[in-house]
Amino acid sequence: MHAKLFESALGITAPWRVRDVQFDAVNNVLNIHIDFTAGSRFAVAGVDGEHPVHDTVTKRYRHLNFFQHECFLEVRVPRVRLPEGSIRQVEPDWAGKLSGFTLLFEALVMVLCREMPFNAVARVVNLSWHRVAAIAKRYVDLALDQADFSDVTRLAVDETSRARGHDYITLVADADARRVLFVTEGRDAATLEAFVEDFAAHGGEPQAVKSISMDMSKAFIKGAEKNLPKATITFDKFHIIAHASAAVDRMRRIEQRTDPSLKGLRWKLLRDRDSLKPEARADLDALVAQVATKRTARAWLYKEQLREILGRKQVNVVRAMLRQWAVNVMRSRVEPMKEVARMIRNHLEGIVAWTRTRQTNGFLEALNGLFQSAKRKARGYGTFSTIRTVVFMIAGKLDFGKVNPHAV
């Protein structure tokens, strides 16, 4: 009776059967012994037909807990003799992708890993951190092997820090599906060369990529021009405005040394005016009214003019207005903003391309925030392999259901 009940609960069908169930009350462990019917023959992947049993080995699989008790399947696994004489071990249908676990247990670990740091998952399921990380990495690798990039035509590339200092990783993503396609160490031109090789291996066509958005990294620009020659390089509006905002803040700090009235205005200058509370907006307006005497006020106006220009949709109009904006800034005495003007002149066509593509790296910036948050919760990730696994878990949009029917 108990055997039939556990067979139904586990989904075990002939020729497999539950031979015995033992409960260790001292250690709170349930052991379910699984055997097969004598005389059974078994199929093996890649070989036609069913084959006779040569001998058996006993394997132990961690399964989902039985209530609060750990559950293990003790399985007498057959090894069969194939027609040409070789011996091959049979893999039971419930065996996981990593030795020693069932598919259902691995599916549970994957669900938890998408929501929690690996060390927290390890505590929940009573495994070592290394075993949890190994399961996650195995599933990411298997799902990536089956990923299809053939419909990708627009890309976004960005870098994020993996540790303090100048230790970076580069992310390349599908700008339409908003999924990460590739993660590698470094942030030089070779990273895009490595991406294109991986992209082609997954069915992608480098010549079909129409556009790629990025920051104004010389290395990324060089890599894109060499490896994605038909892609329009786009520097999105938000990167440009971020540079202009930084110039406003530098101007405020310089001018504040001799003008104490600028103290306390930093966030009022950096935030969008419409999002400010009435009293903060009034303070900002009072500063801007002094545009003739305050260089910080002029810097803020230049930033807002830039925002307005980049909001337009006529390519020729935007190009002409950006050129005139740069002339006006270079004639001013707002030194920090002159750096932005030079940057715009040097990358004009890539900035104007935003007018056509409207392509942004905003979702990659958001991903960077999620990754940094996950890294802090985990107190850092020590190896690139783990970082890569976590990034794909967070933003790869991988179909783990192709690897494990129980994974969601």
Q: pLDDT by residue (tens digit) across 202-218? A: 999 999 999 999 888 88
Q: Which residue has the higher pLDDT, 320 or 408?
A: 320
Q: To 5 degrees, how large is the angle CA 250–CA 170–CA 218?
A: 55
Domain 154-235+360-377: CATH class, spelled out: alpha beta
- Evaluate if residue 348 carries a pLDDT over 90: yes
Q: Is 71 helix (H, G, I), strand (E, B) or coil?
A: strand
Q: Which residue has the tokens 């985990």?
A: 378
Q: How far apart are CA 270 and CA 249, in angstroms?
A: 8
List phi, psi (to 5°) of 313.
-120, -5
What's the pLDDT tens digit per position in 147-189?
A: 999 999 999 998 887 766 557 889 999 999 999 999 999 888 8
37-to-34, 51, 77 alpha-carbon distances in Å = 10, 14, 12
Q: In which order are the strands placed within the sheet that holds 211-213?
A: 179-185, 167-174, 154-163, 211-213, 232-234
DSSP 266-278: HHHHHS-GGGS-H
Where would I find the H helices in 218-292?
218-227, 237-256, 266-270, 278-288
pLDDT value of residue 61: 95
Contact assessment for residue 100 and residue 92, using Cβ atoms and an 8 Å cutoff: no
Span 7-33, average pLDDT:
88
Contact assessment for residue 302 and residue 337, using Cβ atoms and an 8 Å cutoff: yes
Helix (H) / strand (E) containing 134: helix 129-145
Per-residue confidence band for 274, with pLDDT thresholds at 50, 70 and 90: confident
Global pTM reads: 0.83
Least confident stretch, 67-71, 367-371, 395-399: 367-371
- Evaluate if residue 294 carries a pLDDT over 60: yes
Q: Which residues pair with 60 in a beta bridge?
A: 74
Neighbours of 145 (CB within 10 A): 11
What are the residue boundaries of the structural domains of the chain, listed by start? 2-142, 154-235+360-377, 237-357
Q: To 5 degrees, how large is the angle CA 124–CA 127–CA 131?
A: 125
Peptide bond into 229 cis (omega under 30): no
